[in-house]
Amino acid sequence: MKKYISISIIVIIIIAFGLLIFGGNTQIGSESMSKIIIPNGFNIYKTTNDTLIISNKSSNYTITEIGNKTIKSVFDEYNLKHENHTVSMSSTTVGDTKLFGLNLKINETFIHTNYFYEKNGITYQIYPDGDYDFDTIKQLVSSTNKKFII
């Protein structure tokens, strides 16, 4: 009987050690996604391989890696998609990153702005929804790095 108890304890120790060694990674996200620091007051709503959605009481921000497309090609695609509407581009600099806003108007009524930026060879889109704050967008842009860790 003591032999079975000793063997059981050894097996439990080996399993626990294996879980600690191989199961200790608590990172959320994929290796290809970038690191973005979540602003204070926001919660993570959803993550996928290339998208992060954060939210607070009044707004949502969807940050998506759209790959190695250039801002110009994104603008051209957006123009084609909304060919019956007015699309304009604005830009500002956040740190050392150029942030572009693609502004959509229908019948001269402003509808929405999608934000795009390139960092580390990857183009990103930020789609704000609700009562959004431009300072939050700037914080998301400036905190983007190579690996995605929440």
- What does the pLDDT read at residue 34? 56
Q: Is residue 21 part of a domain?
A: no
Collect all residues with Cβ–Cβ distance below 8 Å to 89 and sequence separation of at least 6: 75, 100, 101, 102, 103
What is the DSSP code (8-state) at residue 24? Answer: -
- What does the pLDDT read at residue 84? 82
Query: What CATH number is associated with residue 111?
Result: 3.40.1000
How many structural domains does the chain have?
A: 1
Write the pLDDT tens digit of every residue in 87-136: 888 999 998 899 999 888 888 787 888 999 998 888 999 999 988 889 99
Q: Is residue 137 part of a domain?
A: yes
Write the pLDDT tens digit of every residue in 4-47: 676 766 656 666 555 444 443 333 334 444 578 888 889 998 98
Q: Is residue 19 part of a domain?
A: no
- What does the pLDDT read at residue 4? 66
Better pLDDT: 2 or 67:
67
